[in-house]
Amino acid sequence: MARGFVKEGETPLEVAAQQLIKDGINVIHTIGGDDTNTQAAELSKYILEKHGGKVVVVGMPKTIDNDVYPIVQTFGADTAAEQGAIFFKNVVSESSANPRMLIIHEVMGRDSGYLTAATARKYRDGMKSAKFTGPGFTTTAKSRDIHAVWIPEVSLDIVEEGKRLRKVMDENGCVNVFLSEGAGVEDIVAEMEANGEEVPRDAFGHVSLAKINPGVYFSKRLAELVGAEKTLVQKSGYFARAAASNTFDRQLIKDCAKEGVASAIAGVSGCMGQDEDKAGTPIRAIEFERIKGGKPFNPELPWFKELLADIGM
């Protein structure tokens, strides 16, 4: 309304429906997460019920959070994890720039810790081939390693973690934490509400993570607990999601696009993706009523449990 697309007294769905009918559009391709795809499905349903028309909606699941039910893997998530690892490979060099350095690598992921976990995995896989100079140099395998991975799906006792990481700081002179931006948000919101502060939200009603800034919140608390002399909070989100798709994602996009074209020709609406509720997780037009955001990462996956054990969590 503020931009003039919808006038006072009009409904967005009706305005969009009238435009599509006027332009003779019968297929909509949407690219985005659960909000984008489900809103497009609502528009298609509205046109059918109110105007007797049919618009086929072909959704393409693009979100680096990889948090859409019931889709195995969304576009861009693997690329973002790969790029996030590259980002931290450079940032971690700051661990030797100051005594007792605390680095918080904040990774995108409102409801799911997938991207944080996958980024940590790719970063540590890359470290296996790294070579370090012998004793006497400040940069070591331990100083460049990840010392904590905090995600929404794993409960966090900041005081106990502080005790554990204090020992890491004393031994290595630095602490490196991978933090999912959605980790601990409930605690932050509860504290803001208790203080009578307004909780900022976006157009979809989600808490605005950029404004409540989880990385800064946790860095202040942890810095005190581990005795950090300097703290650095770095966000890889925009760097990671702006990258060109890697080989894995290009193949996934190609496979889903091929199925999407067939679905559009057949007049079948749905969100293209690997349906984890079907045997063999086939790529198909998943019914929009089954599409939902907020799918959590599974912290019981063997590779993730092994990663946590390796870093002492």
In sequence order, the 6+-apart residues with CB closer than 8 A to the CB of 14 are: 46, 50
Neighbours of 284 (CB within 10 A): 18
Q: Is 35 a catalytic residue?
A: no
Nearest to 210 by CA among 237, 228, 247: 237
Residue type, 309: A
Please say whether the beta carbons of 222 and 102 come within 8 A. yes
Tokens of 172: 């290595």
User: What are the φ and ψ backbone dihedral angles of 32, each rounded to 5 degrees?
Assistant: 165, -165
CA–chain centroid gap for 86, Å, is 17
Label the pairing between strands 27-32 and 56-61.
Answer: parallel
Tokens of 254: 């190609």
Tell me which DSSP letter residue 99 carries.
S
User: What are the φ and ψ backbone dihedral angles of 75, each rounded to 5 degrees?
Assistant: -60, 135
**Which of 65, 111, 145, 275 is labelled catalytic?**
65
Tokens of 131: 């070579």
Please say whether the beta carbons of 102 and 174 come within 8 A. yes
How far apart are the C-alpha atoms of 122 and 84, rounded to whole Å?
9
Neighbours of 137 (CB within 10 A): 10
Which of the residues are catalytic? 65
